[in-house]
Amino acid sequence: MSANHGNTPAAWTAVVIALLGFLVGGIALMLDPASWVVFWVGVGLVVAAGVVFVIMDKLGLHGTSH
């Protein structure tokens, strides 16, 4: 297990973006009728969170490498 245990700027940024994506997608599904465009925007945010994490990791914002 890593010494920083996920407490890095890259990890926190990715988690915040992913949570925002789940929130947007969940709200879209609760609308009547469901807004599929907004739902897919939420899905896009979740995917973007992974991309942002990888980019920030490559920039050295994810702590020490093994």
pLDDT digits (tens, 9 = 90+) for 8-60: 999 999 999 999 999 999 999 999 999 999 999 999 999 999 999 999 999 98
**pLDDT of the residue at 22:** 98
Distance between CA 43 and CA 39 in Å, rounded? 6
List Cβ neighbours of 56 (8 Å cut-off, separation of 6 or more). Answer: 9, 10, 13, 14, 62
CA distance 36 to 14: 23
pLDDT band, residue 62 (cuts 50/70/90): confident
Q: What is the pTM of this model?
A: 0.85
| 65: confidence class by pLDDT, cuts 50, 70, 90 | low
d(CA 5, CA 62): 10
CA distance to 8, 49, 63, per residue, from 2 (Å): 11, 21, 9
